[in-house]
Amino acid sequence: MTTLIETLLNGLLLGALYALFGLGLSISLGVMRMINIAHGDLIVVGAYITSVVVQATGVHALASLVLVVPVMFAIGWTLQRVLLNHVVGRSLFAPILVTFGLSIVVQNLLQEIFTADTRSLRDEYISQIGFDIGGVSVGLLPLLSAAVSVALFALTHVLIANTHYGRQARAVADDPSTARLVGVDDKNFFAIVTGFVLSAIAFAAVLYAIRTPFSPSAGPERLLYSFEAVVLGGLGNLWGTFFGGLIIGVAQLLGARVSSGLGPFFGHLVFLMMLLARPHGLFVRTVR
């Protein structure tokens, strides 16, 4: 029984990290109606940048965020300005295919620069700290990841609800052309949004890199987990994405208990089954 509770709890904590993967995807889908196929690869880019910073400066991976977040913001801003603004809202396939090409380019660049070997920023100290809550053991790192994830979701919520940028985001999401009419500089605004998305990715990337070894080809899996979280939560539903992530995390760890190789399989399976049961996401009441 305790092992089951332990699995559930750890599944929720892992799910919070997946939710953090999905946060950026949810924002770019909600605001720009655009899916970035390279989303997972950008998470891996974040992990590699962290490892470079850690190697060069010797600081702790978590401390490197001070540098990694602005760098990722700059990458996101530039990416949107130089490339993605050409395809936003143009057609169904333009954004998908351009970011698909980007995904291939990024994966192979990483492989060329860092080789195909796996890397890890595993921190023996943090990874070994755990708490014993009534016989259920929980690691510090998963707790920390979940806390960061909740904090970033809350921050995004506040930003969207209360700030000028948030109002622009809601306006563009509702009706891009009208938003442009009333003075939203959408090209520049999209660049800022993608910058923000990549900053969120930076947090996800660092936590992920400490938790799991990564390699240049690890991106697509991250994209799929993010995607599942977003779809389960429902389009444009920020906290829905968070709960979607939790479901995938729990499904994976419960699946891994059935057979160690089947964790992601059960995640995907639960996703497909939920899709049949609630095609518009868990938290959408009205049919669009």
Partner 1 sequence: MSDRTLAPEFVRDGGNFVRPIRALRLLNLVLPPAILANFIALPWYGDFVVQRLLVEVFTLFAIALAWNLLAGYGGMVAIGLHFFVGIGSYSLFAVSNVLHLNPWVALPIATACTAVVALISAWPMFRLSGAYFAVGTWVLAELARIAMLNIGWLGAGAGMPLDMISTFDRWSRNAYVYWSALAVGAGSLALAVVLLRSRLGLALVSVRDSEAAALASGVPVGRAKFALWVIAASITGTAGAVSYISTLQVTPDASFSLNWTAAAIFIVVLGGIGTVEGPIIGTFVYFVLREAFAGFGSWYFIGLGSLAIVTMIVAPGGAWSLISRIKKIDLFGIRRRMPAVAVQPDAPKAS
Binding site for partner 1 (CB under 8 A): 29, 34-35, 37, 83, 86-87, 90-98, 100-105, 107-109, 111-112, 220-221, 223-224, 227-228, 231, 259, 261-262, 264-265, 268-269, 271-272, 275-276, 279
182: exposed, middle or buried (Cβ count in 10 Å: 0-12, 13-18, 19+): exposed
CB of 48 to partner 1, least distance (A): 15
CB of 230 to partner 1, least distance (A): 9
Residue among 153, 129, 156 nearest 140 (CA):
129
Tokens 């923000």 found at: 196
Which C-beta is closer to partner 1: that of 132 or that of 286?
286
CB of 288 to partner 1, least distance (A): 11
CB of 13 to partner 1, least distance (A): 23
Q: What six digits make up the tokens of 29?
A: 């889908």
Which C-beta is closer to partner 1: that of 38 or that of 121?
38
Which C-beta is closer to partner 1: that of 182 or that of 276?
276
Which C-beta is closer to partner 1: that of 28 or that of 51?
28
CB of 228 to partner 1, least distance (A): 7
The Cα-based distances of 203 to 104, 239, 278 in angstroms read: 23, 18, 30
Which C-beta is closer to partner 1: that of 142 or that of 263?
263
Which C-beta is closer to partner 1: that of 97 or that of 154?
97
CB of 142 to partner 1, least distance (A): 23
Ramachandran region, residue 130 (left: φ > 0; alpha: ψ -120 to 50; beta: rest): beta
Which C-beta is closer to partner 1: that of 35 or that of 140?
35
Which C-beta is closer to partner 1: that of 208 or that of 266?
266
CB of 3 to partner 1, least distance (A): 22
CB of 97 to partner 1, least distance (A): 5
